[in-house]
Amino acid sequence: MNERAQILLELADDELVIGWRDSEWTGIAPTLEEDVAFSSIAQNEIGHARAAYELAARELGTTPDELAFDRRPAEYRCAPLVELRLLDWAHAIARRYLYEQLDRARIEEMKRSDDAELASLAAKIDREEAYHRIHAELWANRLRDDPRFSQALDDLRPYAEATERVARTQEFAELWDEMTSVRRSMPGAQW
Amino acid sequence: MNDEAEFLEYVQAGGLVETGDWMPDEYRARLVKFIEMHGNSELMGVLPEREWILRAPTLQRKLALTAKVQDEVGHAQLIFGVVEDLGKPRAQCLADLVTGKAKFHNVFHYPTHTWGDVGVIAWLVDAAAIVSQKALLKCSYAPYARIMKKICWEESFHILHGRDVVLALVTGTDAQHELVQEALDRWWGPLMQFHGHPIPAGEDPMVVWRIKSQGNEEARQQFLDGYVPQVWELGLTLPDPELRRRDDGVWEYTEPDWDELRAVVTGGGPCTQDRLDLRRRFLEQEAWVREAVLA
Amino acid sequence: MIFEVFRQEKKGQPFAHAGSIEAPDGAFADAWAREQYGRRGESEALWLVPRVAVREVHDFPDEFDLKYRRVDGYSLKVRLKEARERAGTNPSRAR
């Protein structure tokens, strides 16, 4: 696989998986207003994944849905931070906060790419991520004195710093299992 | 105005009521109970659907379903805002919901089993709801009527999404067609119960106070008239041999199981306790967050 | 804090009250209102105002029927007919 496809898949897989994780909060977030806002973030992320899969799919001769759903778990290239199942708010927000920092660096680099398509994709993503960053900052600021939040940041920092991108965890296997369950029940079907 | 008879005459003549206006205690109490049940239903309706966000078989379906469920939460936000302005705080509503004191609509007490349910719910359950919601646009209590405008507008996308999911299935493999049919067979009973026991308009306090502008049977007839032909034209069947449209336009059907409806809405549905437990668990778990942002 | 949300649907249109949001401060209110009232691109702009800042004015007495300030306070028909007759420009005469 060439470097371009690799970059796109890493971005797409990160956004797909964190979008999937973030959408786990739809309907059960701490307040109704936050539930709506958090769900928009999840949808943006899936949208970014889809756009990146579209470019990668053209390179690899397949379709975005096939890339998103039909690979084996070990073929995904997402960052360790996004795979974690975090169903308490302190950790969910801490992950968003750390992810936005990582993603910003990646997107800034992509924006400077000589590849016009990649640069354009990065610019579009960045315009939406600006609001994700504001959201993460709002919460980080609000919870900065809460030990639950600082503990969560400490718990997650090692994952944010880890660089290996092969999804081997049990958690990811369970995510993949649920994510692909309907699709695998009728391979090749249109939905 | 501070006379109940005068107020009744006023709303029956089409008069509108705002938050700060005087209103009879009975009107306020019925209003709060009705609107609160609506808010609870939006919140509980999220739970059967959100599982399928995680299992959606394409990126498009995942996005559409997330957006639909997001809308339901947004509706709950609007609705509980109206209830709060009538005097019952949101936190109290949520507490009454999870302790089983307050009710929510029958359809949200049932399980989902397959992707077929996803289509049937988004199409037909939302359709049944929108029939009632359109009638609420004429509610005498203006703040509620006003939010119904946004709610109805957003529900129209849900029905299209549901219909699209169903159409994809009925034009797919035999197994996919069967997914819809099987789901339809399970959901038809609750759908027929959804609009409630027929009550003559003059005896329905909700209609008398002009909170509802449409009786239960009128709503059911509208739903059947709009959607049964659409179901049949897709080659799907409905599990009621008595279901038919008379020459005078009235739909005949097997009497719905009103005992089932009563048992379900009073907390005895197949999923009632599990779903309330889930709500309660997250409410309690995240109480500290609300203190951090709402104190 | 409760914030009242006013929504402008398209440029040039007035801001109309759309609902209210409970938020700890203006920054949260902005973020939450943006999604509740604009996630579909259905709003051009929003104004958020703390509910406590909104002043209500009711009760507009008009005991002495000061109709001269309204369009329905004028009936010109009779005098107009007389003026036209005088000027010979009455439409029915001109025929």
User: Nearest C-alpha of chain A: how many angstroms from C25?
Assistant: 10
Closest CA to B10 of B140, B163, B167, B191: B140
Give pLDDT tens digits for B238-255: 999 999 999 999 999 999
Q: What are the extents of the domains in chain A? A: 3-185
The residue of chain B with its CA nearest to that of C22 is B294
Residue with tokens 């437990």: B277
Lowest mean pLDDT among B152-161, B202-211, C65-74, C78-87: C65-74
Three-state SS at C88: coil
Q: In what order do the strands lie in the sheet with C2-8?
A: C16-22, C2-8, C45-50
Q: Do A37 and C35 touch (CB under 8 A)?
A: yes
Per-residue pLDDT at A26 exceeds 80: yes
Q: Do B282 and A28 touch (CB under 8 A)?
A: yes
Q: Do A68 and B59 touch (CB under 8 A)?
A: yes
Which class is A3-185 in CATH? Answer: mainly alpha
What percent of chain B stands above pLDDT 70? 99
Cα angle for residues B133, B157, A35 (degrees, 5° grid)? 85
The residue of chain C with its CA nearest to that of A131 is C31
The residue of chain C with its CA nearest to that of A35 is C32
In this prediction, residue C62 has a pLDDT band, given cuts at 50, 70 and 90, of confident
Gyration radius of chain A's alpha carbons: 16
Range of the domain at B62: 4-260
In this prediction, residue A125 has a pLDDT band, given cuts at 50, 70 and 90, of very high
Proportion of chain C in helix, strand, coil states, percent, rounded to 5:
40, 20, 40
Q: What is the pLDDT of residue C58?
A: 87
Identity of the residue in A33, A131, A135 whose CB atom sits nearest the CB atom of C23 = A33
Q: What is the pLDDT of residue C93?
A: 55
Q: Are B223 and B131 in contact (CB under 8 A)?
A: yes
List all residues of chain B from 11 to 30 with a beta carbon under 8 Å from chain C.
20
Mutation target among C1, C5, C40, C55 for the B interface, most CBs of B within 10 A: C40
User: Nearest C-alpha of chain A: how many angstroms from C53?
Assistant: 21
Q: Looking at residue B76, which CATH number applies to its domain?
A: 1.20.1260.10
Task: Determine, yes or no, domain membership for B276.
Answer: no
**C26 CB-side CA count, 13 A:** 5
Task: Determine, yes or no, domain membership for B266.
Answer: no
Task: Determine, yes or no, domain membership for B12.
Answer: yes
Q: How far apart are CA A89 and CA A86, in angstroms?
A: 8
Q: Please list the residues that pair with C46 across neighbouring strands.
A: C7
The alpha-helical segments, DSSP class H, found in chain B are 4-12, 25-55, 59-85, 90-98, 115-120, 126-136, 142-170, 174-194, 205-208, 216-233, 258-263, 272-285, 287-294
Q: What is the mean pLDDT of residues C11-32?
A: 96
The burial class, CB within 10 Å (0-12 / 13-18 / 19+), for B224 is buried
The burial class, CB within 10 Å (0-12 / 13-18 / 19+), for C57 is exposed
Q: What is the pLDDT of residue A90?
A: 98
Q: What is the mean pLDDT of residues B31-37?
A: 97
Q: Are A48 and A125 in contact (CB under 8 A)?
A: yes
Mean pLDDT of chain B: 96
Task: Determine, yes or no, domain membership for B288.
Answer: no
User: What domains can be seen in chain C, in order of their start residue?
Assistant: 2-53 (3.10.20.520)
Contact partners for chain B, using 3 or more CB pairs closer than 8 A, are A, C
Neighbours of A167 (CB within 10 A): 24
Number of domains making up chain B: 1
CB pairs under 8 A between A and B: 117
The residue of chain C with its CA nearest to that of B71 is C36
Q: How far apart are CA B183 and CA B203, in angstroms?
A: 35
User: Nearest C-alpha of chain B: how many angstroms from C83?
Assistant: 44
Give pLDDT tens digits for B49-103: 999 999 999 999 999 999 999 999 999 999 999 999 999 999 999 999 999 999 9
Q: Are B132 and B214 in contact (CB under 8 A)?
A: yes
